[in-house]
Amino acid sequence: MGISRDSRHKHYKTGGRSNASIKKRKYEMGRPATLCKLGAKRVRSVRCRGGNMKYRALRLDAGNYAWGSENVTKKVRILDVVYNASSNELVRTKTLLKNTIIQIDAQPFKQWYLKKFGLDLGKKKKGGDKKEEAAEEAEKMSRHVVFKQKARASKQKLDPAVEEQFQSGRLLACIASRPGQCGRCDGYILEGEELAFYKRKLERKKKA
């Protein structure tokens, strides 16, 4: 039969059937969904109408993720799928779809933050040790760089909920691209109210 996206086969709002005067057309064609899974990169190209190309990601394990408030984007590894509003089955099978909540590796963002602000995120604060480490770092860098970092750090405000995640080395992120259409799994790090919302959802899921 094949998948068709026409509406001629549908009932009227009142329940009546329409007369099928024409058959299925090529331009109404649909294709079966290829649910992208977490794994070593595997992408297939599909020729579409008009000679356009779609890229079906069958498996992906990395993507570009933006940290909105800091205005920085890094290519990071995808570690796990933790939440999907549609179905828990998609979480169990580690399926990557648009708007899926995933865990990504925090290391690239950690290194960037250290370089820009001179602060090592995710380290538990111990007074003496921290000062010694700061002194060691200062020796490695020129005074100009140290002062520049201090000036940036003085104006810097980091969301405590995001900072807390750096200790585990995993950040919650949301997929914004469509892996089955463009062959990429890009998105953004959750922050603010959105992060609080999904944290509540995950806690509720754990209790259930």
Mean pLDDT on 70-97: 94
Read off the tokens for 94: 């580690």
- pLDDT 10s digits, 18-76: 988 899 999 999 999 989 999 999 999 999 999 999 999 999 999 999 999 889 999 99
Helices (H) and strands (E) in the chain — how many of each?
A: 7, 11
What pLDDT shows up at residue 49? 93
**Distance separating alpha carbons of residues 175 and 158, to the nearest angstrom:** 22
Other Cβ atoms closer than 10 A to 82: 18
Which residues, including other chains, have CB under 8 Å from residue 93's CB and lie 6 or more apart?
Answer: 35, 37
What pLDDT shows up at residue 115? 85
Read off the tokens for 3: 């998948």
- pLDDT 10s digits, 105-160: 999 999 998 888 888 887 776 655 555 555 555 457 787 788 677 777 777 778 88
Handedness of CA 34, 39, 44, 46 (dihedral sign): positive
The total number of residues shown for the chain amounts to 208
pLDDT(206) > 90: no
What pLDDT shows up at residue 123? 75
Handedness of CA 170, 176, 181, 184 (dihedral sign): negative
Mean pLDDT on 80-103: 94
- Can you give the pTM of this predicted structure? 0.84
